[in-house]
């Protein structure tokens, strides 16, 4: 079943008298449990699309259905609610707070949502840290960790609300090849466990880990292909 359905999705930016047409009527549907790489040259609309998928921005016209709900018509409060109950975010720059420990960084989304932190939420976050292999680093701060470890904290944080959909913005963009493979193995494992993943990347080696590759060019879908399972050499 489709977790995400985009119907004639258009995004324009208005700058003075100029209209910038960024997404020019996308029709795409992403199945629950799929793993999608979003590619395309700089300026093709990837970030704009990811922001809309992440309910951080709204389309100019067209529809975005997430788990059957028309999120393109929702107001800011409703979108914020959708972000915290359906979505997890991973960024190229990890976006961790330096003064917070590993476990506190994982707790952050709960804190932002006004969830009361207690022993139960603490144990939940510790379990997530253990899941990403950082059970012995709970009280470390980001700067005491390698880039790969920081991204693993970010992955644990993205899971804190048990999201349906994980959105990645160049999640391996700051990592060396070996560490990138480690992170992709982790994302693949999450996908095996049922998480739907959509990640922007400009690297073919990274896109090869996805099941499906959608290429944008100039605000339109240029190609949409399935990787066969032998593409990746682990
Ligand atoms: P990509 O992520 O593929 O590089 P973007 O989605 O960032 O592409 O940008 C697509 C186009 O939209 C670019 O031409 C960019 O200049 C334009 N754009 C993006 N954000 C804005 C904005 N806030 N205002 C005006 N133009 C924008
Ligand atoms: P870029 O990749 O374009 O440099 P980022 O990926 O760092 O930008 O962030 C994109 C936007 O998403 C930012 O405005 C950031 O504040 C916002 N953001 C980051 N995490 C979350 C979250 N968990 N919920 C809602 N918004 C978020």
Rounded distance from Cα 43 to ligand 1 centre (Å): 6
Give residue 51 CA to ligand 2 midpoint distance, Å: 8
pLDDT, tens digit, for every residue of 191-217? 999 999 999 999 999 999 999 999 999
pLDDT of residue 228: 79
Instruction: Specify the pTM.
Output: 0.89
Give the model confidence (pLDDT) of 140-183 as tens digits.
999 999 999 999 999 999 999 999 999 999 999 999 999 999 99
44 lines ligand 1 (CB under 6 A): yes
Task: State ipTM.
Answer: 0.69
Which ligand 2 atom is at minimum distance from the Cα of 47?
Answer: 3
CB atoms within 10 A of CB 190: 20
Q: Give one DSSP letter per residue of 78-126, joined into a string.
A: HHHHHHHHHEEEEETT----TTS-HHHHHHHHHHHTTPPP-HHHHHHHH
Q: What average pLDDT is seen over the chain?
A: 95
Residues in Cβ contact with 176 at an 8 Å cutoff, skipping those fewer than 6 apart: 147
Ligand 2 centroid, distance to 157 Cα (angstroms): 14
Indicate which atom in ligand 1 lies nearest the CA of residue 44.
3
Residue 232 pLDDT > 70, yes or no? no
């Amino acid at each position: 079943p489709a977790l995400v359905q985009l119907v004639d999705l258009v995004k324009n930016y208005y700058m003075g008298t100029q209209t910038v047409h960024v997404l020019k009527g996308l029709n795409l549907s992403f199945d629950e449990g799929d793993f999608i790489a979003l590619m395309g040259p700089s300026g093709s609309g990837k970030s704009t699309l990811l922001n809309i998928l992440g309910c951080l921005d709204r389309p100019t016209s067209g529809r975005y259905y997430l788990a059957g709900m028309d999120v393109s018509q929702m107001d800011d409060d409703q979108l914020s609610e959708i972000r915290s109950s359906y979505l997890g975010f991973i960024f190229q720059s990890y976006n961790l707070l330096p003064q917070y420990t590993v476990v506190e960084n994982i707790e952050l989304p709960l804190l932002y949502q006004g969830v009361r932190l207690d022993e139960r939420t603490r144990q939940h976050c510790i379990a997530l840290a253990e899941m990403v292999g950082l059970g012995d680093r709970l009280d470390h701060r980001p700067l005491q960790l390698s880039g790969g470890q920081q991204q693993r904290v970010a992955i644990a944080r993205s899971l804190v609300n048990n999201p349906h959909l994980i959105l990645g913005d160049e999640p391996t963009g700051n990592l060396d090849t070996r560490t990138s493979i480690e992170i992709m193995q982790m994302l693949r494992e999450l996908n095996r466990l049922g998480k739907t993943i959509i990640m922007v990347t400009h690297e073919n080696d990274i896109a090869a880990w996805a099941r499906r590759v959608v290429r944008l060019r100039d605000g339109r879908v240029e190609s949409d292909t399935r990787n066969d399972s032998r593409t990746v050499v682990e």
